[in-house]
Structure 1
């Protein structure tokens, strides 16, 4: 694990226990999955790459718009799905035919793989990157070395 990847995972783990609050991004007070990524971005680059408009729980699912994926492509570096590193940003499609609307950060790779994420009813936690979760990954990104 590179020093940069280590810093990303360390920052993500600092958010563990933060309660789930839709559209929020305040460590210890409340966050959602995007808010977790926003908080990590602020820690890495001292600001955010763009203003985040209000968003619904369905993430534009009825319109079929891949808003999270498009934003990730604007600010993160796309990777091959099989090129796994700690600190990678994982984008999940929660069901077939739906838009990708969940994000996480790879914590550990290998046989004991894990990822950090925020989700309703649980807040921020580090979960096993089990087969059911792996099957939902549709894109993998890395944070850029410098802010975009």
Structure 2
């Protein structure tokens, strides 16, 4: 039986500076959003989509150090849906985030070429899971 697929690749610009936090283990967590323009030829217009992104460990440290509002970045990762009960209404709420696995810095905030272009992809032995800095599906994310 074939496995399910959960993979996303996007290019966009940061909507604000990344926010850094730390897990109880001391591992870094960074959260940011990117805006991604989508041209709709049938309407001859552009639609902007916004995506929340989370990075862990050394990748989070790299993001916090080099990415700022307006910076263009290509990211790849997986989608994760968090669900919880709203304490006021008791309704089930959810939010989908991208768990970043790799990134490439593409240019400066102004759109020009930047000498700091870099790619970061976690390295693991073949077939091993990527270390997300101590985060697992059973852990509670602190935001």
Q: Report the TM-score, using the length of structure 2 for normalisation.
A: 0.26
Greater CA radius of gyration, 1 or 2?
Answer: 2
Structure with the larger strand share: 2
**Structure with a larger share of its residues in helix:** 1
Bigger relative contact order, structure 1 or 2 (CA pairs below 8 A, ≥6 apart): 1
